[in-house]
Every structure is written in C-alpha cells, then in structure tokens.
Amino acid sequence: MNTSKFTSLFKGREVKADKQSHSEEELNLVRDITEKFEAASAAKQDKTRIWNDCIAAYNSDYFKNKNRPEYKSDEISNFIFSTLEVIKPIMVDNDPHIFVLPKTPEGVEVVDKIQDVFDSEWLRAEMKKKLLQGVTVSLQIGTAIYGVFWDGKDENGLGNVRITLINPYNFFPDPMAVDIDSAEYVIYATYKHVNQLKQAFPDKASRLVGSGINRPELVVQGNVSDVSNQVLVLECYMRDYTTVEVEQIDPEDETKTLKVMTRKYPKGRIVTVA
C-alpha cells in the first residue's frame, strides 16, 4: 500500500491537550485519525474475540473457568499446541530464497552483486528470527503482520530499513477494505512512555502529558494497572489525495499549454532513498 505517513497522539485520558496551543489543522488531523481509529477498532472486535479463543486454546486455557459437567475430566490433551509445534519447524526449516535473474544480456554482469545484496539484507535485518516469530503468530491466530519502517538513526546516522513484527492486536485497517491494497488507511496503535515521545518530538514536549493505560489489549505484557506516564500513539498511514496545478500540452493545439489540476501522488506517496 503506497501511503503518506502521519503520527497522531490520541486525545483522551492519555493526552491532555490545550486547544490554544494547537493549530486548527493539527486539531482536525487528530479528530480525523481518532475517528478512523474508533471505526476500525469497533469493526475489529469480533475478530479480536476469535483471536483470544485461539490463543487460549494454544495455551491450554480455553476450557478454564467454564461450567463443565462433573463427569468430564479436567485433564485435556492439547492437540492444537502439539500440532502447531510440529508444523512450525517444517515451515522455517529453510530460509526463503530470492533469486535474481537478468532480463537483458547486460544484466548478467550485475546479477551476482544484486543477489549478494538481497542475501546480506536478509542477514542484516535478522529475518530468520523474525520469520519464526511471524510463523508462530500466524499459526496461532491466522494473521501475521510485518511493518517496514525507516530508521534514521541506524547505520551511524545514515539510516536504513527496519523490519518489525507487528502485534495484530495493535493493527487497525480500514474496515471497508477487502484487502490491504484497497485500504484507505491503516493504523498502528502502541503505548509509549511520555519521556520517549518528548525526546522524539522536542518541539511538542511541553504539550505532552502521560497517563495510565485504559486499553490493556494493546500492551503485550500482562498486568498494566501500575503503569503510568503512558501515551497512546496512533501511527496512521493514509492515502494522500493532494492535488496540484500542472501545465499540459493542449491535445487540440500542441503549440499551447493548459493548466489542469492533477493528483500530486497518482501512484501513492513513496519515499525513496538512493
């Protein structure tokens, strides 16, 4: 999905925002992303309940605290866990291999170098470990998500791509989409300590106030009742429909030009670093 990126701090108990210190454009952006998050969150509730049951079954917790007849044994063999643990090593026994093939005779000279780049990148990104983690999650609940992010602090400040396994509970796609490519937006929701955000956004530091966690399902760790100074961060990737005025040759008179409005990013907004 080709998108533009915005980061919004969820307005609620997590952030105490002073309207006087924000521009109308910022407030409208926060409202827009918050509405998208609430719509996606509501649409995802049924799926989340299924995931909870799947994980409970994998961990042998599915039948706990259930009103089972006395004649039924409490000892239940967990064939789900054993089956998945047998399948998992088979799926990750060999690394996926990307074969680079030349399309032209001239490409033969650089095929080996490009192949080395792909192989090196697989090792640098530690994809073998992340593949195992993703396969585990996908076998448990049927869904695994990887995020491709740009880390400007990597490689001594030069920057590099960072691959992150995203917890499906923290991922909120456009509820009207039939697949990821047709989504108008996706949201990655995570809790972060307020000091971490102040360091990342020093110009907004005075406006950031942390609080407790009121959406514990977004936190992987168990008990979050004693966690404070947290902020719910909504990282929203949405399609950019910005239009710009451009000059085009008049099809009826090639000696003249016409000014027309067109999409600034007709194929989506793509950030490329060469």
Query: What is the structure's pLDDT at 12?
Result: 37
In DSSP notation, 48-108 reads: HHHHHHHHHHHTT-TTTT----TTS-S----HHHHHHHHHHHHHTSS--------SSGGGH
Query: Which residues pair with residue 255 across a beta bridge?
Result: none
Q: Model confidence at 33, in pLDDT bands (50, 70, 90)?
A: very high
**49 pLDDT more than 90:** yes
With residue 199 as reference, give the H or E element that holds it: helix 194-200
pTM: 0.77
Cβ neighbourhood burial of 272 (10 Å; 0-12, 13-18, 19+): exposed
Tell me which residue has tokens 């095929």. Answer: 111
Q: Model confidence at 24, in pLDDT bands (50, 70, 90)?
A: confident
Query: What is the structure's pLDDT at 74?
Result: 66
Query: What is the structure's pLDDT at 171?
Result: 95
Query: What is the structure's pLDDT at 234?
Result: 92
Residue with the bigger pLDDT between 253 and 75: it is: 253
**167 pLDDT more than 80:** yes
Cα 125 from chain centroid (whole Å): 17
Mean pLDDT of the chain: 83
Query: What is the structure's pLDDT at 7?
Result: 42
Query: What is the structure's pLDDT at 226?
Result: 54
Cα 61 from chain centroid (whole Å): 28
Query: What is the structure's pLDDT at 3?
Result: 44
Residue with the bigger pLDDT between 137 and 11: it is: 137
**70 pLDDT more than 80:** no
Neighbours of 230 (CB within 10 A): 22
Q: Model confidence at 37, in pLDDT bands (50, 70, 90)?
A: very high
Tell me which residue has tokens 């509820």. Answer: 175
CA distances from 250 to 129, 208, 225, 255 (A): 56, 52, 66, 7
Query: Would you list the domain boundaries of the chain?
Result: 45-142
Query: What is the structure's pLDDT at 273?
Result: 44
DSSP annotation of 142: S
Token pair belonging to 157: 């400040």
Tell me the average pLDDT across 73-96. 88
Handedness of CA 209, 212, 214, 218 (dihedral sign): positive
Q: At 146, phi and psi to the nearest 5? A: -115, 135
Nearest to 237 by CA among 24, 64, 3: 3
Percentage of the chain exceeding pLDDT 90: 38
Query: What is the structure's pLDDT at 16?
Result: 40
Query: Which residues pair with residue 134 across a beta bridge?
Result: none
Q: Express each pLDDT in 182-214 by its tens digit.
A: 899 999 999 988 898 898 888 888 888 888 888
